[in-house]
Amino acid sequence: MTGQILRWNFFIGGHLSTSVPVRLVERTDEGQLVWLETGTPMWHTELPGGAHLRDIPPHDRPAGGYPAKAGRWPMGSALIHQPAGAGHAVFWFFGRRQKFRGWYVNLEHRVHHGEDIDVADHELDINVAPDRTWQWKDERSFAEKTGHPAYWSADEAAAIRAEGARLAGLAEAGTFPFDGSWCDFRPPKHWTTPPLAAAPARTVL
């Protein structure tokens, strides 16, 4: 149902990084679109010394995961396209006054459990500017993680990169999702910012 609140749970190397509520915009057999509002109350893992989860080797993390603490989504508002069965999601990012800032391709493995959208991040991503020029992001850290049992094998890495290259080709061609559709999206005015959900039931996949 449009406007339904779902939970977008983002995992890195099997450990939860972020759990934030989003609203369903549209769902079809081809996938779904969800809206993530800047400033939305969320949960994120509390890490030692302000470190980032992707920089902590899995064998140095607590087996049960890090504790989650309340915060707010710090990045811009985003419309997220999650195509069914695909190894990626595409974000339309918006800045002040809902100005479109560009696309972001997140390469990932995604599983749906009721109201939960569990995303296992594949590290390698693509930034796509409004003029559809693009560049890889995090290539070095993607290569460093390849072969580690908590991440992906060399064969899986090749498939992940191929998925990214396919999306880059769509950007160059100006075809969906980079055809200009949804760039003027505005959430319905009656949508309020989702409240803080209950603390995540688990912090490891």
Indicate which residues carry an active-site annotation. 137
How far apart are the C-alpha atoms of 15 and 165, rounded to whole Å? 27
DSSP the chain: -TT-EEEEEEEETTEEEEEEEEEEEEEETTEEEEEE-TT-EEEEE--GGG--GGGS-GGGS-TT-PPEEEEE--S-EEEEEEETT-SEEEEEEE-GGG-EEEEEEEEEEEEEETTEEEEEEEEEEEEE-TT--EEEESHHHHHHHBT-TTSB-HHHHHHHHHHHHHHHHHHHHT-TTSSSTTTT----TTPPPPPPPPPPS-SB-
Rounded to the nearest 5 degrees, what angle is found at the Cα of 27, between the Cα atoms of 113 and 130? 110
How far apart are the C-alpha atoms of 35 and 76, rounded to whole Å? 11
